[in-house]
């Protein structure tokens, strides 16, 4: 079979090549425009905040890094290097919370704590999980993830799904198994 190169065939190949190249560039441009780019409106390193209500300290937050996304549609604040949070009740009792990552959603007063979340009361009640949500408005914690709860007497409860108030006085378990030690 003999290949016949004519001006007409060469011109047609060139046109097809240009159309293909120009379409590819447009497709890339459309794909780039569809990607949402979040840029923080504020950033802080080595942050320490005290929250007060009527002159009484209600919480102390320490974080290595904070990114505030206040200008996006659903505003949030991200703590990509984790947090140490101490909550105070009206009698001054403390609850200590650590997590390697956290996000605070501004419209809902909800905090999403992730990665090695540990919450401990002054009475040595301790909960460990990979994700825990905190409803700031109601002072309520909850998760659907596996957890380990240790009571002050050393008894342990493992399970999936738990919710409780911030001082561990009211606890609702979903699926649990464990060992409860009797107080002496």
pLDDT tens column, 45-103: 898 988 888 889 888 999 999 999 888 888 899 999 999 999 888 888 898 999 999 99
Residue 169 has pLDDT above 50, yes or no: yes
Confidence (pLDDT) at 16: 57
Tell me which residue has tokens 């505030």. 68
Evaluate the CA torsion angle 122, 158, 128, 168 in order and state its sign: negative
Domains (range + CATH), the chain = 56-179 (2.60.450.10)
| Cα 157 from Cα 162, distance rounded (Å) | 11
Q: What is the pLDDT of residue 1?
A: 47
List, in order, residues 6 or more apart from 138 with CB less than 8 Å away: none
What average pLDDT does range 97-121 have in this prediction?
A: 92
* Residue 104, C-beta contacts closer than 8 angstroms, at least 6 positions apart: 76, 77, 79, 110, 111, 112
pLDDT band at residue 39 using 50, 70 and 90 as cut-offs: confident
pTM here? 0.71
Contacts of 82 (CB under 8 A, 6+ apart): 63, 64, 98, 99, 100, 101, 102, 115
Neighbours of 83 (CB within 10 A): 22
Q: How confident is the model at residue 145 (pLDDT cuts 50, 70, 90)?
A: very high
């Amino acid at each position: 079979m003999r290949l016949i190169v004519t001006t007409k065939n060469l011109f047609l190949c060139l046109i097809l090549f240009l159309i293909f190249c120009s379409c590819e560039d447009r497709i890339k441009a459309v794909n780039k425009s569809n990607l949402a780019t979040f840029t923080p409106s504020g950033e802080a390193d080595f942050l320490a905040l005290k929250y007060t209500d009527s002159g009484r300290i209600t919480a102390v937050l320490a974080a290595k890094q904070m990114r505030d996304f206040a200008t996006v549609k659903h505003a949030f604040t991200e703590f990509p290097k984790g947090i140490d949070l101490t909550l105070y009740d009206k009698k001054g009792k403390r609850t200590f919370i650590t997590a390697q990552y956290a996000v605070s959603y501004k419209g809902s007063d909800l905090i999403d704590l992730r990665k090695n979340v540990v919450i401990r009361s002054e009475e040595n009640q301790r909960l460990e999980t990979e994700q825990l949500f905190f409803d700031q408005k109601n002072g309520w914690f909850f998760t659907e993830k596996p957890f380990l709860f240790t009571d002050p007497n050393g008894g342990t409860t493992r399970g999936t799904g738990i919710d409780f108030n911030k001082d561990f006085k009211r606890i609702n378990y979903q699926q649990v198994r464990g060992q409860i030690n009797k107080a002496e």
